[in-house]
A and B are shown apart, each in its own frame.
Chain A
């Protein structure tokens, strides 16, 4: 089930990159929430969700991300999406979330936003 794996990579004391597999849906939405909330509890302010490999994002997947955004923003951080495909970007737009979520085209841009120069 590699396509549903979610992995985390520590960049700095404050920043973590989370990479979902091909799908983020009913099956692994709860894993995404656990991954992000666990990172937030450990003090990571910025969590970059690299969606480069993501092919399908369900409503549940979207919901799992939405519930965690406010916590990061409350401590001066954020949840940043990057490498979002057009298809998924369209879904986010349909759900009227493109303006709410912080979306960057590339990981570099996301890192810059986190104050990390590559």
Chain B
């Protein structure tokens, strides 16, 4: 067709005159028709506009032309600039923005105009001079459906000939032909850009977005959604393969499939939002999702589509669970702490009352003849008092205020000693159907601990294990050592390092999950109190002792299958040597000042120390002691910690060492205020001895302190 036209144009003959007047418009229209055909099916906006400019340039003998096409209603945005010739380098033309005033003007004057004849309103009067300066001769508004799409500007003709009225008419006709094409290409360009923009947004959200049509076939999935699906099906390699797949096929995992069906049902019945918690496993790893279903509303053809947004909340849920567990532990610790304060207070009073009951029977027995008829009764008093003192000690341990001596301790030895004890023998005798398996790792390091307290811990756990297997079973006790960075449960943050681990496991009845958080509370027991231990403080003591040893614990329990207590104790370095045995010598002739505000306690101490040969002086409070020492000196002071509130053991000691720097002192109390005791010891005081005490305990403590090198004085 195009060839034909040019062939015809080249002909000469009878129709030559006709062709000469008509050939230019025919050539123009032929070019535009070809252009329309070309771009109708391939609306490449930029190429279309450029080709139109080339065509106009060729048709009207121009070297320079430009167009600015701008989104209607968005006047602040720069339009799309296209140009030929020198206009393509003009920054001034590129900077043009079609203001609302210009838009209104061009809509009103919808035809080609010579720039020199533009009659612009004041607000945009600067526009024409800009065009003139750039060499623009003619400007044409591109109007489609009463909306201004932009303008096309043409420069001077290369032939220097002015535009004739016929030229302007032909230009008008030509541009009216291509304007609908420009409009549709422009809208297509806008839609494509918008679509790409939406896709960019979709691909950058952290949720997996799946858009399904009314037949439940996948229309669109974003990058996150594709990655979620890849998690379940690593073989997926191209999102295109998912297009058009049914929702059932998209989520092939059984759980996903059931879940997807519920969604389809929900979509049919109710197009509102649905939220689901979805947990699924991929090769043992659990993933948790929250899903949202939303319908597309509006008048578009997509209104029957629905969107599923999958949010991977695995990390968040894990963090929340961790947080809850920490909170439970904190609450448990706080409960234990307040119970401890109560128990500690009771223990203090009881200890003071028990002091004479524990101490005097020894003195009485010393004075009684071997055949005395009351000897047995006194021994019973002593035994009962000692048992009562043990219970109080449990209370103190529970209060975590038992200042027991921590020395390098072999846990295996503690366990073995208990296993060899009569107490354990009694248990096995009582439970003949329980098989005991002991596996002690002989290579474990020592821990810094108190053997009697650790023994109590193991005893309590073992007794509980026996009680949990009334029908028989297996008790497994194991020690081992491991370098740990976390516990089995993973909930406690622990100091990294080597730990001696003690496992006590039974296959008995197990513990209900609801009870697990409270089993360490005093008297929170599911056992009958008449059972083996019976104090109701067993696990509370375990808790307190483990914490005092800077240890941790885990409990793994399953109802009907058994319970395992795992205790973790930090090891100490091997080079720390065992503390050598102290001399057992108790007596002496030195002068002792006993300071205690409780008469019975003061008398008891005085009597016990006198019986050991010491010369004893007494003071009934701190101030009296200080007053005495202003004019006297003693070899050692036996100082009660808790006395008057405004002048306790620490206050007294401070005054004493001002008078007698380096004064040897032993601290006694039924209720230790640990920080104040520590302060005293930092100032130079000797050991702390817990009330009630026996003659042997007080004798050894004083003897050891007296035999020590003189105390370095603190200024």
Contact = CB atoms under 8 A, between A and B. Distances in A.
A74 to B, nearest CB: 9
Contacts of B28: 59
A106 to B, nearest CB: 21
Contact of A59 (B7, B31, B65): B31
A67 B59 contact: no
A12 interface: no
Interface in A87-109: 87-88, 90-91, 94-97, 99-100
A97 B105 CA distance: 35
A63 B57 CA distance: 5
Interface stretch (B48-56, B619-627, B649-657): B48-56
B57 A26 contact: no
A66 B61 contact: yes
Nearest to B174: A59
Contacts of B31: 26, 58-60
A87 B2 CA distance: 12
Contacts of A87: 6-7, 9-10
B23 interface: yes
A69 B9 contact: no
Interface of B is mostly: helix
B34 A56 contact: no
B51 A56 contact: no
Contact of B51 (A29, A90, A99): A29
A68 B83 CA distance: 12
B183 interface: no
A61 B50 CA distance: 12
Given A30-B47, A96-B161, A97-B159, A61 B58 contact: yes
B493 interface: no
B540 to A, nearest CB: 88
A59 B27 contact: yes
A95 B23 CA distance: 10
Contacts of B88: 67
A64 interface: yes
B158 A69 contact: yes
Nearest to B26: A94
B50 A30 contact: yes
A88 B7 CA distance: 10
A87 B61 CA distance: 18
B10 A86 contact: yes
A100 B54 contact: no
A114 interface: no
Contacts of A96: 61, 159, 161
Contacts of B50: 29-30
B61 A67 contact: no
Contacts of B6: 56-57, 87-88, 90-91
Interface in B605-621: none
A24 B49 CA distance: 17
Nearest to A61: B58
Contact of B58 (A66, A68, A99): A66
A86 to B, nearest CB: 6
B159 A70 contact: no
B10 A60 contact: no
Contacts of A91: 6, 9, 27
A56 B58 contact: no
A7 to B, nearest CB: 20
Nearest to B6: A87
A61 B34 CA distance: 13
The 7 A-B pairs with the shortest beta carbon distances in the complex, nearest first, are A63-B57, A62-B58, A63-B54, A59-B58, A63-B58, A67-B85, A60-B54
21 contacts: A26-B35, A26-B38, A26-B51, A30-B47, A55-B3, A58-B58, A59-B54, A59-B56, A63-B56, A63-B58, A63-B84, A66-B57, A67-B54, A70-B86, A71-B86, A86-B10, A87-B9, A91-B6, A91-B9, A96-B61, A97-B159
Interface of B: 2-3, 6-7, 9-10, 23-24, 27-28, 31, 34-35, 38, 47, 50-51, 53-59, 61-65, 84-86, 88, 158-159, 161
